[in-house]
């Protein structure tokens, strides 16, 4: 699904408009006119992303980049995915039809990937430059006729200050703001939610054209709900990293223990915060009621998620919140902070609850649990969640990105003709 900035529904919520699938069509160069819908046969695409989905702390941005890459391959494109390399990973492999190239650690990747692209600048027709706070400077190193699409999930400015010294955070903000704004001013930008679009305009003063192409979500398969212990049970699903504030979810077992003595908190995911969370889970006041599952295969993850009464995320920095839609697909509503991205993926009072300014996470979770104690409310919200999740598929995401790439290549052809 893709949305232009001016589109809005009668209810006031902007409505993404899906581009049709482009398959079994002639190559772009053979087009008789702009009305034809080509495939991407012969189109060479470079995808530049900070991580790839098999890495230890990969998240929604990596899933987005990979799912889009897979769809482009299915449309006939040749896709190279350049990213960082974790210890023990191969430097190169072919997976899902994608040529995967790994180089550098979390810092060196921003030097090595642009150099990799520079040395291969004539090989690509399109570059998807995924900006995770810091861009890959594709407009500088790609050849002039190569179309660069900048992908931004959310604005990182406050996140820099949360995790880096002030001097380093200031440099990060300068690169994300004035430098990137100038560098990508002629490049179409893709973001994943309307509120992220607003933050790009307001906080970064972004001047380039922006299109919204939301995340998709895997098709949920019904699983046994009795797989999770505790009544009621709440779950956190995602990376165990600092800015996700997972400890706030774990603390719910203590904060709500008096009102809900049977409350259990299940945490699914991996990351550098695991040891800290394990120490918290061993505290006497929550012992036996906070469960760290680590990384789980899809079926086991869905069993834990679908067996929970409520999904809770305490993150204050999101572009969308992919796990919100994963939970919704299984009929599980979410409590999340009212921040950019999450205020789009959670429909307050319909598919979950938003924690507004001045409210406490624990108080909103308590309210949600009280409402969900009514079986009729649970059934109504579960149905609304599943309907909401069905609006988001990776097929729609890939088709929208394909349509955008076709449009960019047509524009390039007009400019060079």
Least-confidence region, from 67-71, 123-127, 216-220, 373-377: 216-220
Q: Which pLDDT does position 191 carry in this prediction?
A: 95
CA dist 90 and 94 (Å) reads 11
Tokens representing 110 are 């921003």
- Section 93-104 average pLDDT: 97
Q: Which pLDDT does position 166 carry in this prediction?
A: 86
Q: Which pLDDT does position 223 carry in this prediction?
A: 55
CA dist 213 and 131 (Å) reads 15
Q: Which pLDDT does position 22 carry in this prediction?
A: 33
Sheet holding 290-294, edge to edge: 290-294, 264-268, 233-237, 310-312, 334-337, 352-355
Least-confidence region, from 23-27, 101-105, 312-316, 335-339: 23-27
Least-confidence region, from 2-16, 147-161, 162-176, 350-364: 2-16
**Sign of torsion over alpha carbons 403, 406, 408, 411:** negative
Averaged pLDDT score across all residues of the chain: 87
Q: At 83, give phi and psi (nearest 5°).
A: -155, -175
Tokens representing 102 are 């790994």
Domains of the chain: 44-216+393-416 (3.40.50.2000), 225-389 (3.40.50.2000)
Percent of the chain with pLDDT over 70: 87
Q: What is the DSSP letter of 134?
A: B
Q: Which pLDDT does position 128 carry in this prediction?
A: 98
Q: Which residues pair with 57 in a beta bridge?
A: none
In contact, 268 and 304? CB cutoff 8 Å: yes
Task: Give CA torsion, residues 67, 222, 16, 60, to 10 deg.
Answer: -40
CB atoms within 10 A of CB 51: 23
Confidence band of 414 (pLDDT split at 50, 70, 90): confident
CA dist 191 and 64 (Å) reads 11
Indicate whether 224 pLDDT > 60. Answer: no
In contact, 398 and 72? CB cutoff 8 Å: yes
In contact, 197 and 204? CB cutoff 8 Å: no
Confidence band of 131 (pLDDT split at 50, 70, 90): very high
Give the model confidence (pLDDT) of 388-402 as tens digits: 999 999 999 999 999
- Section 227-237 average pLDDT: 78
Q: Which pLDDT does position 219 carry in this prediction?
A: 65
Q: Which residues pair with 291 in a beta bridge?
A: 266
Give the model confidence (pLDDT) of 8-39 as tens digits: 333 333 333 333 333 333 333 333 333 333 58
CA nearest to 336, candidates 124, 193, 148: 193
Indicate whether 342 pLDDT > 90. Answer: yes
Looking at per-residue pLDDT, the higher value among 100 and 217 belongs to 100
Confidence band of 229 (pLDDT split at 50, 70, 90): low
Q: Which residues pair with 101 in a beta bridge?
A: 82, 92
Cis, peptide link before residue 139, omega less than 30° from 0: no
Q: Which pLDDT does position 40 carry in this prediction?
A: 94
Indicate whether 203 pLDDT > 80. Answer: yes
């Amino acid at each position: 699904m893709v949305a232009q900035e001016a589109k809005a529904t009668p209810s006031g919520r902007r409505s993404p408009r899906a581009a049709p699938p482009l398959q079994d069509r002639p190559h772009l160069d053979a087009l008789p006119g702009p009305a034809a819908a080509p495939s991407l046969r012969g189109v060479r695409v470079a995808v530049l992303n900070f991580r790839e989905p098999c890495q230890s702390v990969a998240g929604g941005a990596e899933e987005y980049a990979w799912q889009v890459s897979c769809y482009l391959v299915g449309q006939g494109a040749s896709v190279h995915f350049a990213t960082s390399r974790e210890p023990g990973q191969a430097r190169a492999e072919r997976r899902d039809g994608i040529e995967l190239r790994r180089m550098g650690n979390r810092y060196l990747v921003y030097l090595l990937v642009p150099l990799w692209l520079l040395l291969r600048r004539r090989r690509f027709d399109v570059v998807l430059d995924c900006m995770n706070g810091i861009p890959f400077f594709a407009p500088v190193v790609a050849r002039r006729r190569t179309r660069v699409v900048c992908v931004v999930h959310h604005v990182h400015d406050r996140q820099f200050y949360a995790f880096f010294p002030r001097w380093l955070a200031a440099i990060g903000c300068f690169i994300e703001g004035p430098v990137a704004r100038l560098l990508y001013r002629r490049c179409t930008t893709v973001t994943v939610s309307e509120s992220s679009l607003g933050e790009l305009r307001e906080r970064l003063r972004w001047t380039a054209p922006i299109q919204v192409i939301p995340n998709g979500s895997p098709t949920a398969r019904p699983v046994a709900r009795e797989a999770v212990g505790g009544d009621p049970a709440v779950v956190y699903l995602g990376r165990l990293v600092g800015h996700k504030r997972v400890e706030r979810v774990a603390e719910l077992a203590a904060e709500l223990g008096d009102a809900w003595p049977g409350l259990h908190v299940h945490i699914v995911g991996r990351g550098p915060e695991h040891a800290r969370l394990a120490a918290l889970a061993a505290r006497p006041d929550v012992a036996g009621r906070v469960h760290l599952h680590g990384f789980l295969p899809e079926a086991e993850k869905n069993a834990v998620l679908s067996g929970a009464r409520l999904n809770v995320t305490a993150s204050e920095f999101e572009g969308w919140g992919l796990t919100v839609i994963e939970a919704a697909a299984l009929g599980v509503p979410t409590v999340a902070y009212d921040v950019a991205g999450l205020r789009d993926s959670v429909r307050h009072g319909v598919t979950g609850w938003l924690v507004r300014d001045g409210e406490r996470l624990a108080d909103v979770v308590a309210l949600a649990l009280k409402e969900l104690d009514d079986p009729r409310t649970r059934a109504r919200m579960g149905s609304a969640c599943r309907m909401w999740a069905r609006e988001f598929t990776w097929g729609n995401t890939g088709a929208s990105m394909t349509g955008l790439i076709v449009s960019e290549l047509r524009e390039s052809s007009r400019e060079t003709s």
